Chains A and B, each alone.
Chain A
Amino acid sequence: MLLLYAVVASPADPAVTQGRAGAPGVRLSRFDHGDLGVLYATVEEPPRGDRSEVLAYGHTLTSIAQASTALPFRYGTCVATAPELAQLVGSREQEWLAQLARLDGMVEVIVHASPSGQPLQASHQPAGRARMETDAPKRTLRPGAGRDYLTSRAAAHKALEGLAEQLEEAVTSYCAEVRRLRAKTEVRLACLVPRRSSTGLEEATQAWARARGDVDVVVTGPFAALSFTESRGS
């Protein structure tokens, strides 16, 4: 069984195909088809899906993305045999070539932003209401109960929207593309940036947060461009 990691252009950086890009214990092979190569590992069993295995997969993708432009597969994507892989690559060749061209030289960086020191829900409540809740008997603080809860949720949502728009504006000049990722109490942006610009993006984001003084930011990556793959189905 072949566990698929990423599609790369031919020829990829030799480091990718000589086993140096994988996490410890991962030996990558390469299947070439026209202008594409698919990096895979031969495995005895389907992926288990435990945390360490998923992380090892992610670290391998990160290594690949640092060495070469890569179109990463979602964790757990397997084909049974090499002929099946050939069939898959043949059917997706044009789509994957187009995506590789779009991702050429790009990596993904994720920017988190949240108000400093306290969750949004509390920080954006009107002061009077917050004081009233503090003094009220404990039973009125029960989360999920009544209009106060819904009002605070709406205020938090609105605040997050505003923060997301401002953060997008702050990072957009560094990014080829920005996508919002799911998050409950913070803003989380996936940024597609040229490999050489990932440090600049982080510095700009930290400077933006310092200038505001009311927002904490954390920047992670660079990762393979996992949030910027498009799939039109099989």
Chain B
Amino acid sequence: MSVQPFPGSREDVALVDLLDRVIDGGVVVTGDIVLSVADVDLVYVGLRLVLAPAYAVDESIRRGRSRRPAPGP
């Protein structure tokens, strides 16, 4: 299968760049020191997760727990 280096139009690439930079770039005001441990950039991971706001994650976890079948006898 042939893989094109830049699938889609320049506009598509620009949109992906914009999304990526807005999520991964810019000024960070919290957490950026605390989460850097042993030269591993945990901030990157953490802020990706923040994209699902904390309140939504909490709800999601609660829903997941409520759907989980109860342990058998």
Do they bind each other?
Answer: yes
User: Which B residues lie within 8 Å of A99 (CB)?
Assistant: 27
User: Which A residues lie within 8 Å of B28 (CB)?
Assistant: 74, 77, 231
Contact at A226–B53, with CB atoms within 8 Å?
A: no
Give the docked Cα–Cα distance between A46 and B6 (Å).
34
Q: Is the C-beta of B33 less than 8 angstroms from some C-beta in chain A?
A: yes
Answer whether A223 and B18 are a contact pair too, CB < 8 Å, given A74-B23, A92-B29, A229-B25.
yes
Contact at B21–A223, with CB atoms within 8 Å?
A: yes
Contact at A218–B33, with CB atoms within 8 Å?
A: no
Q: Give how many A residues have a beta carbon under 8 Å from the other chain's beta carbons.
A: 51
Contact at B5–A119, with CB atoms within 8 Å?
A: yes
Contact at A73–B19, with CB atoms within 8 Å?
A: no
Among B15, B19, B27, B31: residue with most chain A CB under 10 A: B27
- Shortest Cβ distance from residue A95 to the other chain B in the assembled complex, whole angstroms: 9
Q: Is the C-beta of A54 less than 8 angstroms from some C-beta in chain B?
A: yes
Contact at A74–B18, with CB atoms within 8 Å?
A: no
User: Which B residues lie within 8 Å of A152 (CB)?
Assistant: none
- Shortest Cβ distance from residue B61 to the other chain A in the assembled complex, whole angstroms: 16
Q: Is the C-beta of A128 less than 8 angstroms from some C-beta in chain B?
A: no
Give the docked Cα–Cα distance between A193 and B55 (Å).
39
Answer whether A226 and B21 are a contact pair too, CB < 8 Å, given A46-B55, A76-B51, A185-B3.
yes
User: Which A residues lie within 8 Å of B20 (CB)?
Assistant: 181
Contact at A114–B5, with CB atoms within 8 Å?
A: yes
- Which size class do B's interface residues fall under? 20 to 34
Answer whether A218 and B10 are a contact pair too, CB < 8 Å, given A55-B15, A76-B53.
yes
Q: Would you give the 0/1 interface string for B16-41, flagging 1 where the beta carbon is closer than 8 Å to chain A?
A: 01111111111111111110000000
Contact at A112–B18, with CB atoms within 8 Å?
A: no
Contact at A74–B5, with CB atoms within 8 Å?
A: no
Give the nearest-CB partner of B49 in chain A: A49
Contact at A114–B6, with CB atoms within 8 Å?
A: yes
- Shortest Cβ distance from residue A40 to the other chain B in the assembled complex, whole angstroms: 13
- Shortest Cβ distance from residue A37 to the other chain B in the assembled complex, whole angstroms: 14
Give the nearest-CB partner of B55 in chain A: A46
Which of A55, A117, A181 contacts B18, CB < 8 Å? A55
Q: Is the C-beta of B42 less than 8 angstroms from some C-beta in chain A?
A: no
Which of B17, B22, B50 contacts A57, CB < 8 Å? B22
Give the docked Cα–Cα distance between A90 and B56 (Å).
30
Stretch in A10-18, A58-66, A131-139, A166-174 touching the partner: A58-66
Interface residues of B (CB under 8 A from A): 2-6, 10, 13-15, 17-34, 47, 50-53, 55-56
12 new A-B contacts, CB < 8 A, other than A49-B52, A114-B5, are: A58-B19, A74-B24, A74-B27, A75-B51, A76-B50, A115-B5, A116-B5, A220-B14, A224-B26, A226-B26, A231-B27, A232-B32
